[in-house]
Amino acid sequence: MTGYRAPSYTIMSRTMWALPILLEEGHRYDSSIFPIARRWYGMPRAKRWPHRLDLGEGRSLAEFPLPTFRAGFLNVPATGGAYLRLLPFGLQAWSVRRMLAARKPFVLSIHPWELDPDQPRFPVGGRTRWTHYHDRSRASDRLARLLAMGSYRPLSGILLDLGLLWESSAGPRNRVGAAAAAGCPRRQPGPMTAHESWSLCSISRYQTVFDSSLAQFIPPK
């Protein structure tokens, strides 16, 4: 396991303490930072394209941010994840064409359950019903149409091409570690919301696989 994505994109300004833990656990890259402003996630001032994050003490981690486009002074989600269903497809296709024309690497992701339009429906509130069930019947078609627009490969291969990832990890790999033994990762002191606690505990409890995240890259001219 070399890559990680935090549930609900909960790597943000107040949870950056988690990234050194990922490095200690053997992860070589992360794709959790969404350069947008949202209540529960997002880092609107973060870099929009792949880069290496300086973690201090000579350490760094490759970061592949989620895709956005600029609208005035704002970053707006371009596609992927729930936005594949929730955003107008014309807007997504337009933003993908723009990134391809600009030769920018971007990630296209989807939750596997979103490809199952027949999964059970539960009695939930209006907001959750919309974000979880809206346009699930169109998810497969939308994904296929976006995939047809370019050639995609795993994130690790793109980061290698960009010179942001090396063939071997710089540190030892420890899949369990002291943090996992405690049931939740070590963290710096300070308040943490219940949402952050639930999401970030998965850093040590689960080893996330990018089995549903692909990246597009057009080599530089």
State the amino acid at position 10 in one-letter form.
T
Residue 221 lies in a domain: no
Tally of domains within the chain? 1
Residue 39 lies in a domain: yes
Sheet holding 213-216, edge to edge: 106-109, 213-216, 152-153
Residue 27 lies in a domain: yes
pLDDT tens digit string along 121-145?
A: 899 999 999 999 999 999 999 999 9
pTM: 0.77
Mention every residue, 6+ apart, whose C-beta is less than 8 A from residue 204: 21, 25, 176, 177, 179, 180, 182, 183, 184, 185
Question: What three-state secondary structure class fits 69?
Answer: strand
Contact (CB, 8 A) for 34 and 77: yes
**How far from the centroid of its chain's Cα atoms is residue 60's Cα?**
18
The domain containing residue 85 runs over which residues? 3-216
* DSSP result, 144-212: HHHHTTS-EE-HHHHHHHTT-S-SS-SS---SSHHHHHTTS----SS---HHHHHHHTHHHH-----TT
pLDDT tens digit string along 104-118?
A: 999 999 888 898 888
pLDDT tens digit string along 26-69?
A: 999 999 999 999 888 999 999 999 999 999 999 999 999 999 99
- Quickly state the pLDDT bin for 209 (edges 50, 70, 90): very low
Residue 175 lies in a domain: yes
Residue 83 lies in a domain: yes
Query: Is residue 1 predicted with pLDDT exceeding 50?
Result: yes
Query: Is residue 99 predicted with pLDDT exceeding 80?
Result: yes
Tokens of 212: 């549903």
Give the β-pairing of 29-30 and 3-4: parallel
Taking the C-alpha atoms of residue 71 and residue 76, their distance in angstroms, rounded to an integer, is: 7
Question: What three-state secondary structure class fits 106?
Answer: strand
